[in-house]
């Protein structure tokens, strides 16, 4: 029998019915209904104005204010026609969240009447009071101004609530001195940097008509759904997004019966609601399914240009969270909400390509003689080897640390998986010119009526943090709660760097009279000799790899964020970002400061919360049970029985572990950042204090609490259990 509050939650859940909120409609009707698309612009704008907008989108450059005025008027007419009274500049601060500054279209006329007004200037530039966004020391309060500027490559859209509509304008967010305070500005810069170098290489390969090269991204989002009647009883899920305590459920994911199983009806209704909203916003949601852990699901879109995909990913997280509430769920985007079962990642599928050449990471059927592909793929290998620690640092968050290196997620060691066919081609290159590509062949299913499947030339390797998957790379170490912007910035920038290096090598060889093919293979051979150590096709989870990667291949194993974040301060990384014009040294240092602070804050909040829950929820329940048990044992003794004291003794021992751990944690929280680490550097000392001081104490406290959960009378236990939260909906 569960405790009264859990029983009430269970009853509430039993009464729930799937909520139908959206009337099903055909895709054509839903698609981009709430987006001010190019088509809508074209219909609304004079031809010359539209062409000018199109030019700006395709080739970059400034939007003329006179053009902006006309666009603003058209946008306002469209939005107010749909009932919008307000517009918002939407931007992406360094916190992984989405921020908005809302303003009314209202403009008073002197005579007491009002009109709606929206000028080009208001469209193109906003001025939110940015002083309370983390900026890592870029601005002091006397220069607290922040500006938002319209990112014309990402379309404006409407956000609907039951009471109205807001016009949302995607923007970049910069300080008055022009420093990037957001995640979008460096993303746009990194795409430009990669384009410059890709153009250079393509020209060397003899190409002349080259469209702008862009990076593409398709991000798979994993998440958990827990009934909100349960979350209401779990302060940890509400405030920290993860269960700080909780004994593993007797039934976990061992039956593998959830993965790709039939989706429960209430969840499917939720998913359909999410998809309809996303379609209206022009987000191309494409797949939905159950994930490995009970209560875990995934949504993935069709891939798009990286900066649009990034905006759409942020929207997807917002829509998931808000829609879950309406359906009586809490959507947990945390990387490890429940210890002991799978965590959630966000696989970032990434490639580069353009309109004239298509996907530049598509190997075709015979990769060994596809020089263009080999050079671009070689650039990736070189980049990941040279900057593996950077790739680790851009996925370093307090939440993701619980997942990386655990037995279901990629290790913290960054290596590249190519698949057997490509690995073979690149191994041949190391020795000389490749002779052929192992062909994939055809899969025989043994049933005549079934079609023959062409086999993928490389199998999947789920244990690799960075895997080639046919025509793109999949960065699997990204956390489910993260913005994809940071990882994309790193990928584009290391790509720019490698392409630059390759282009320079080729130029030198060609100038010395070498033939293009010979020069290219020579460069590729050098890439493989210097950087081939990063290519690994085996089991990334194995202890053996962890040892060999470090000892034999010289790869770094940066286990925690406290180890990984300082990579942002390395000379090579600073030089990389400033040389390619993506982040100045000041901007980079500010990112180190903000991400370190986020890590520290996350852990300190968790520590305080664990302390409070242990003392005010767990301790009282355990003591009450100990008292009851003591009385029962006494009665038994009085009756002349000899009861076993085992449970009582275990309980008493766990209670004293709980008390000791609470005291120790309280002390550690009271005197932060002393003792451990480098005392000359407060930021580093604070990081280490969290990683080496607070987390182990929290683990010890958790051990006591979870032990008690296994002993205390269920009727007294205040917190919904893992079994309840994961299996009941």
- Tell me if 347 contacts Mg ion by CB under 5 A: yes
- Min. distance of Cβ 340 from Mg ion in angstroms? 23
Distances (CA, A) of 39 to 44, 51, 53, 126, 444: 9, 12, 12, 25, 46
**Which one of 148, 175, 216, 561 is in contact with ligand ADP (CB under 6 A)?**
216
- Tell me if 231 contacts ligand ADP by CB under 6 A: no
Q: Which helix (H) or strand (E) holds 125?
A: strand 125-126
536 close to 415: Cβ distance less than 8 angstroms: yes
Give the residue at shortest CB distance from ligand ADP.
218
- Tell me if 468 contacts ligand ADP by CB under 6 A: no
- Tell me if 351 contacts ligand ADP by CB under 6 A: yes
List CB contacts of 416: < 8 A, sequence separation 6 or more: 380, 381, 384, 385, 464, 466, 467, 468, 473, 534, 535, 536
| 300: partner contacted, choices ligand ADP, Mg ion, none (Cβ within 5-8 A by kind) | ligand ADP
d(CA 88, CA 99): 9
**Which one of 147, 223, 230, 350 is in contact with ligand ADP (CB under 6 A)?**
350
537 close to 417: Cβ distance less than 8 angstroms: yes
Calculate the dihedral angle through the C-alpha atoms of 600, 605, 607, 610, rounding to the nearest 10 degrees. -160
**Which one of 130, 301, 383, 389 is in contact with ligand ADP (CB under 6 A)?**
301
Distances (CA, A) of 449 to 314, 446, 452, 529: 44, 9, 9, 48
| 291: partner contacted, choices ligand ADP, Mg ion, none (Cβ within 5-8 A by kind) | none
Binding segment (CB under 6 A) for ligand ADP, from list 216-224, 226-234, 248-256, 368-376? 216-224
**Cα Rg of the chain, angstroms:** 28
Binding segment (CB under 5 A) for Mg ion, from list 77-85, 342-350, 395-403, 522-530? 342-350
484 close to 217: Cβ distance less than 8 angstroms: yes
d(CA 21, CA 19): 6
Smaller CB separation from Mg ion, 168 or 300:
300
- Tell me if 346 contacts Mg ion by CB under 5 A: no
- Min. distance of Cβ 482 from ligand ADP in angstroms? 16
The DSSP code for 180 is: B
| 471: partner contacted, choices ligand ADP, Mg ion, none (Cβ within 5-8 A by kind) | ligand ADP
Binding segment (CB under 6 A) for ligand ADP, from list 155-163, 212-220, 259-267, 558-566? 212-220
Binding segment (CB under 5 A) for Mg ion, from list 65-73, 146-154, 344-352, 652-660? 344-352
d(CA 88, CA 86): 7
- Tell me if 359 contacts ligand ADP by CB under 6 A: yes
Smaller CB separation from ligand ADP, 293 or 300:
300
- Min. distance of Cβ 453 from Mg ion in angstroms? 19
List CB contacts of 591: < 8 A, sequence separation 6 or more: 94, 136, 568, 583
Site size toward ligand ADP, by CB under 6 A? 17
- According to DSSP, the β-strands at 84-91 and 164-175 are parallel
469 close to 349: Cβ distance less than 8 angstroms: yes
Smaller CB separation from Mg ion, 185 or 221:
221
Smaller CB separation from ligand ADP, 386 or 469:
469
- Tell me if 303 contacts ligand ADP by CB under 6 A: yes
**Which one of 71, 152, 300, 621 is in contact with ligand ADP (CB under 6 A)?**
300
364 close to 528: Cβ distance less than 8 angstroms: no
Smaller CB separation from Mg ion, 477 or 694:
477
- Tell me if 76 contacts Mg ion by CB under 5 A: no
- Tell me if 220 contacts ligand ADP by CB under 6 A: yes
d(CA 603, CA 484): 22
- Tell me if 37 contacts ligand ADP by CB under 6 A: no
217 close to 348: Cβ distance less than 8 angstroms: yes
Q: Is the dihedral of CA 520, 429, 463, 360 positive or negative?
A: positive
392 close to 558: Cβ distance less than 8 angstroms: yes
Smaller CB separation from Mg ion, 323 or 461:
461
d(CA 474, CA 704): 39
- Tell me if 619 contacts ligand ADP by CB under 6 A: no
Tell me the sheet residues that pair with 577. Answer: none
- Min. distance of Cβ 523 from ligand ADP in angstroms? 24
- Min. distance of Cβ 220 from Mg ion in angstroms? 5
- Min. distance of Cβ 36 from ligand ADP in angstroms? 24
- Min. distance of Cβ 487 from ligand ADP in angstroms? 13
- Min. distance of Cβ 223 from Mg ion in angstroms? 15
- Tell me if 471 contacts ligand ADP by CB under 6 A: yes
- Tell me if 393 contacts ligand ADP by CB under 6 A: no
How far is C-alpha 729 from the chain's CA centre? 26
- According to DSSP, the β-strands at 84-91 and 304-305 are unpaired
Give per-residue burial for 468-483: e unless 16+ CB within 10 Å, then b: bbebbbbbbbbbbbbb
Distances (CA, A) of 229 to 237, 263, 625: 12, 21, 25
**Which one of 88, 123, 124, 217 is in contact with ligand ADP (CB under 6 A)?**
217
- Min. distance of Cβ 491 from ligand ADP in angstroms? 11
| 464: partner contacted, choices Mg ion, ligand ADP, none (Cβ within 5-8 A by kind) | none
d(CA 305, CA 312): 10
| 580: partner contacted, choices ligand ADP, Mg ion, none (Cβ within 5-8 A by kind) | none
- Min. distance of Cβ 346 from ligand ADP in angstroms? 11
- Min. distance of Cβ 474 from Mg ion in angstroms? 5
Binding site for ligand ADP (CB under 6 A): 216-218, 220, 287, 300-303, 347, 349-351, 359, 471-472, 474
Using CB under 5 A, list all residues that contact Mg ion.
347
């Amino acid at each position: 029998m569960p405790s009264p509050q859990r029983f009430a939650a269970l009853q509430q859940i039993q009464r729930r019915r799937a909520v139908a909120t959206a009337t099903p409609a055909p895709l054509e009707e839903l698609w981009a209904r709430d987006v001010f698309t190019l088509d809508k612009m074209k219909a609304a704008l004079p031809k010359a104005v539209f062409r000018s907008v199109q030019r700006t989108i395709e080739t970059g450059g400034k939007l003329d204010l006179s053009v902006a005025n006309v666009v603003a008027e058209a946008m306002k007419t469209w939005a107010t026609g749909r009932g919008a009274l307000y517009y918002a500049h939407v931007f992406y601060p360094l916190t992984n969240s989405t921020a908005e500054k809302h303003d009314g279209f209202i403009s008073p006329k002197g005579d007491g009447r009002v009109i709606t007004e929206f000028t080009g200037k208001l469209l193109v530039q906003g001025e939110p009071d940015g002083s309370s966004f983390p900026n890592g020391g870029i601005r002091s309060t006397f220069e607290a101004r922040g500006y938002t500027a319209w990112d014309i490559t990402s379309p404006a859209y409407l956000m609907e609530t039951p009471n109205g509509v807001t016009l949302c304008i995607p923007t970049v967010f910069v300080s008055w001195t022009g420093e990037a305070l957001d995640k979008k500005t460096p993303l746009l810069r990194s795409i430009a940097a990669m384009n410059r170098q890709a153009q250079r290489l393509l020209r060397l390969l003899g190409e002349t008509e080259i469209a702008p090269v862009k990076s593409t991204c398709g991000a798979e989002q994993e998440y958990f759904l827990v009934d909100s009647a349960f979350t209401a009883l779990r302060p940890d899920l509400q405030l920290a997004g993860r269960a700080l305590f909780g004994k593993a459920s007797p039934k976990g994911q061992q039956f593998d019966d959830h993965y790709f199983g039939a989706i429960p009806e209430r969840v499917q209704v939720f998913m359909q609601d999410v998809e309809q909203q996303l379609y209206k916003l022009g987000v191309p949601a494409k797949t939905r399914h159950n994930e490995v852990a009970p209560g875990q699901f995934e949504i993935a879109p069709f891939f798009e240009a990286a900066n649009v995909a990034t905006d759409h990913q942020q929207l997807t997280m917002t829509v998931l969270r808000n829609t879950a509430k309406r359906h009586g769920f809490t959507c947990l985007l945390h990387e490890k909400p429940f210890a002991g079962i799978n965590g959630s990642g966000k696989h970032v599928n990434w490639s580069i390509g353009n309109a004239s050449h298509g996907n530049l990471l598509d190997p075709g059927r015979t990769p060994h003689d596809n020089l263009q592909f080999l050079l671009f793929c070689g650039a990736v290998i070189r980049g990941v080897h040279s900057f593996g620690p950077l790739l680790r640092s851009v996925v370093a968050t307090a939440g993701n640390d619980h997942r990386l290196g655990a037995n279901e997620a990629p290790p913290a060691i960054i290596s590249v998986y190519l698949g057997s066919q490509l690995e073979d081609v690149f191994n041949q290159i190391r020795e000389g010119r490749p002779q052929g590509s192992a062909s994939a062949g055809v899969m025989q299913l043994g049933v005549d009526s079934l079609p023959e499947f062409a086999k993928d030339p490389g199998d999947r390797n789920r244990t690799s943090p960075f895997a080639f998957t046919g025509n793109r790379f999949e960065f699997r170490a990204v956390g489910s709660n993260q913005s994809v912007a940071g990882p994309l910035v790193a990928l584009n920038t290391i790509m720019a760097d490698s392409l630059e290096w390759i282009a320079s090598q080729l130029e030198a060889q060609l100038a010395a009279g070498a033939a293009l093919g010979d020069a290219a293979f020579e460069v590729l051979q050098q890439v493989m000799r210097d950087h081939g150590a990063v290519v690994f096709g085996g089991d990334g989870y194995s202890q053996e790899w962890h040892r060999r990667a470090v000892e034999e291949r010289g790869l770094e194993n940066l286990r925690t964020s406290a180890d990984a974040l300082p990579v942002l301060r390395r000379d090579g990384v600073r030089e990389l970002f400033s040389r390619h014009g993506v982040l100045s040294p000041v901007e980079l240092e500010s990112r180190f400061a903000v991400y370190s602070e986020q890590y520290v804050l996350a852990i300190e909040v968790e520590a305080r919360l664990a302390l409070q829950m242990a003392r005010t929820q767990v301790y009282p329940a355990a003591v009450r049970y100990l008292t009851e048990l003591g009385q029962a044992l006494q009665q038994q003794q009085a009756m002349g029985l000899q009861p076993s004291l085992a449970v009582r003794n275990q309980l008493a021992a766990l209670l004293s572990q709980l008390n000791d751990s609470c005291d120790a944690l309280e002390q550690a929280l009271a005197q932060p950042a002393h003792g451990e680490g480098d005392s000359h550097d407060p930021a580093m000392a604070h990081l280490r204090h969290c990683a080496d001081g607070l987390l182990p104490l929290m683990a010890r406290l958790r051990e006591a609490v979870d032990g008690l959960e296994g002993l205390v009378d269920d009727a007294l236990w205040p917190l919904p259990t893992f079994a309840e939260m994961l299996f009941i909906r």
